[in-house]
Amino acid sequence: MADRYRCILLFGAPGTGKGTQGQLLGERDGFVHLATGDIFRSLDKETELGRKFVHYSSRGELVPNDLTIQLWQEYVKGMIADGRYDPESDILLLDGMPRSLPQAEMLDGLLQPLAIIHLTVPNIDEMVKRMKLRAEKEGRHDDADENVIRNRFDVYNRETAPVLGHFDKRLVIDIDAIGTIEEVFERAVAAVDSVRV
């Protein structure tokens, strides 16, 4: 058995397109895309965990670390059990994990990051614009309100950005996230393929 999950971490502020790029990359052979936000959104809103998710995400806050890690680990075990993910042969493309230093520390023994794809944008306004568009298209409650969006950036800077410093600098590949989905995807594929070789 592989002792740690080989993975590529998708990194970037809210609105940089991690979800879109992760999904596209996940269609490539040997990669399995897993977004923590998707796991949370698939929860039944009537369960206690589902209610907690709505409570935190509607304010732009992170769900508490212990809960998140427990749910995430159970979810990955389920993926292994039903054959969606094979740790021996697949590389996990992780979006939204780890998203804080405590999460990174809790997963140290479990993850083997091969690279960190860091999507970068020059300014916040570009991202706010994208997120409002997304809110209209997808009906996401956490993107509809400008104050919540701003708080998500604050939380990103305070809790998530420091996670980059937890890992070996040589793993980080910066990618310009400005351009069409196809243009950014080309850059992302080049980065991912350089890892696989």
Where on the chain is the footprint of ligand ADP (CB under 6 A)?
Answer: 14, 36-37, 40, 56-57, 61-63, 68, 96-97, 99, 103, 142, 152
Torsion sign, CA atoms 170, 195, 98, 38:
positive
The minimum distance between CB 109 and ligand ADP, in angstroms, equals 17
- In whole angstroms, the minimum distance from the beta carbon of 140 to ligand ADP comes to 8
Phi, psi of 111 (to 5 degrees): -105, 140
Q: How far is the CB of 161 from ligand ADP (least distance, A)?
A: 13
Closest distance to ligand ADP from the beta carbon of 30 (Å)? 23
As beta bridge partners, residue 11 has 118
Nearest CA-CA partner of 173 in 160, 157, 158, 184: 184
What number of H helices and E strands is found in the chain?
8, 5
Nearer to ligand ADP, 50 or 171 (CB): 50
Residue 83 or 109: the one with the smaller Cβ distance to ligand ADP is 109
Please, what is the minimum distance in Å from the beta carbon of residue 97 to ligand ADP? 5
Tell me which residue has tokens 């059990």: 81
Q: Which is nearer to ligand ADP, 30 or 78 (CB)?
A: 78
Q: Which residue is nearest to ligand ADP (CB)?
A: 37
Distance from C-alpha of 9 to C-alpha of 91, rounded to nearest angstrom = 10
Contacts of 125 (CB under 8 A, 6+ apart): none
CB-wise, 77 or 196, nearer to ligand ADP?
77
Rank residues 40 and 167 by Cβ distance to ligand ADP and give the closer one: 40
**Residue type (1 letter), 114:** L
